[in-house]
Amino acid sequence: MTSKWTSRLIIGLTLTFLIGPFLIIILAGMSAGDFLAFPPDGLSLKWYIKVFTVESFQKSFALSMFLAVFGTLTALVLGVPAAYAISRYDIPFGETIKTVVAAPIIVPGIIVGLALLRYLVIPLGFTVTLALFLAHTALVLPYAVRVVLSSLNNLESDMEEAAVLLGCSRVGAFTRVVLPNIQGGVLAAFILGFVTSFNQVPVSLFLSGPGVRTLPIDMLSYMEITFDPSVAALSALLAFLSVVIVFVAEKFLGFSRYV
């Protein structure tokens, strides 16, 4: 009896802890007042509408979208063959490669950002956008490799040999037989990578230039100057977007199998 109540209490507290801030943000964004406050100062949707008209948000949203979509796609283009090679061939230093690929997860993002700024942007004259693109690709790569690797490991390698004996080349066997069977994993990796990239702060912190900022960084700097509820409204919208993406993915792909 007691243990049942204890576990309910723990679940309740956990959910409050996870969902509570989300609710606070949604409500704070619905304020009718001019300052970010909780409880909100009257109710209105004006801040939810206003965020769409802020020009810097539009630009940074576009940049973040671009990075999330193309950074993740690039990471997949590199990561899927890498995962395939690791799982199917006895490549030298396979384990080491797996560890190195995971490095961007382990090394604090702020260091990655600083390193890119110091060694690529400043001395080599890389544009900030290019550095951001490289950083986001590298950051998503470990997820791409890991998630795809786990779905590859569930796939018998006999299948590819069967395809080869039926006339396929090795590459043909990969595209005709392997890819269709790991689609789910690749999509899961894309979504995970997209969300990771979109929400990324530490790396991007150092990599901003005139008019070039990712959305989270733009929100931070907006808040330093203006303390109105639009940031709360925008956060709530972004959180909502993430939830929708994950929900759809779960519904159609059984996303949670891969993560």
Partner 1 sequence: MSDRFVSLQKLSLAYGQTEVVPELDLDIREGELIALLGPSGCGKTTTMRAIAGLMAPKTGKIFIDGTDVTRTPANKRGIGLVFQSYALFPHLSAFENVAFGLRLKKMDNLEVTSRVEHGLNTVGLAHLAARKPAEMSGGQQQRLSLSRSLVMEPKVLLLDEPLSNLDARLRLEMRTELQRLQRETGITMVFVTHDQAEALALADRIVLMKEGVIEQLGTADELYNKPASKFAADFFGFENIFAVSDAGIVGNKGSLAGTFEAQDGHLAWRPGAVVVGKGPYEGTVTGVAFAGEQREYVIEAALGQIKATTPATDKRYEIGDSVAFDLPLAGAWHLPEGRQGVLMAK
List contacts with partner 1 (CB under 8 A).
156, 158-159, 161-169, 172, 176-177, 180-181
Phi, psi of 72 (to 5 degrees): -70, -40
Residue nearer to partner 1 on the CB measure, 169 or 256: 169
Cβ of residue 160: shortest distance to partner 1, in angstroms?
Answer: 9
Q: Please state, in angstroms and rounded to a whole number, the distance separating the CA atoms of residues 68 and 86.
A: 25
Q: Which of 238, 19, 211, 200 is nearest to 230 (CA)?
A: 238
Task: Identify which of residues 77 and 166 has a Cβ nearer to partner 1 in the complex.
Answer: 166
Burial class (CB in 10 A: 0-12, 13-18, 19+), 247: exposed
Shortest distance, CB of residue 175 to partner 1, whole angstroms? 12
Instruction: Tell me whether residue 164 or residue 220 sits nearer to partner 1 (CB atom).
Output: 164
Q: Which is nearer to partner 1, 20 or 254 (CB)?
A: 254
Backbone conformation region of residue 215, classed left if phi is above 0, alpha if psi is from -120 to 50, else beta: alpha
Cβ atoms of 44 and 31 closer than 8 Å? yes
Task: Provide, rounded to whole angstroms, the least separation between the CB of residue 151 and partner 1.
Answer: 12
Closest contact distance (angstroms) between CB of 178 and partner 1 is: 10
Report the residue number, 99 or 157, with the smaller CB distance to partner 1: 157
* Spatial distance between the Cα atoms of 225 and 144, rounded to a whole number of angstroms: 37
Apex CA 141: angle with CA 239 and CA 203, to 5°?
60
Q: How far is the CB of 257 from partner 1 (least distance, A)?
A: 15
